[in-house]
Amino acid sequence: MFEVQVEVAEDHTVCRPVGELDAYTVGEFREALNGVDETARLVVDLNGVPFMDSAGLGALIGGIRRVRDGGGTIAVLCDRPAITRLLHTTGFDRIVPMVETMAAAIEALGPVDES
């Protein structure tokens, strides 16, 4: 079973997929990312994802582009060795901050824009 939880806090949004993120489930993940305000300070929490294939990685990269193009910021939270290894191997960690705690993810988003 796969689900995506989206939580909107006062100063950031968390998108949390839970379950295997692959070609069969990527549509739901992509839809959730597309539903997030592109100006958001977004944390994608991958701690509930035991497996991710190239389709999931592509959707994640697409979500990152969309948020960045809209002026938002994004960080990825992941403490799963297999997923972290995949993201490091593909060079993903060079395009977006990858951290292991929610506090570090929120900090990686940078200061809140008060304008």
**Structure confidence by residue, pLDDT tens digits, 33-68:** 999 998 889 999 999 999 999 999 999 999 999 999
- 112 or 83: whose pLDDT is higher? 83
Instruction: Using a cut of 0.75, tell me whether the model's pTM lies above it.
Output: yes
- What is the reported pLDDT for 114? 63
The token duo for 92 is 């993903």
The whole-number pLDDT of residue 39 equals 85
pLDDT band at 115 (very low <50, low <70, confident <90, very high): low
Output the CA angle 49-95-114, nearest 5 degrees. 95
- Classified as helix, coil or strand, 36 is coil
Angle ∠(32,95,80) on CA atoms, nearest 5:
65
The Cα–Cα gap between 84 and 77 comes to 9
| Selection from 33, 34, 43 nearest residue 11 by Cα | 43
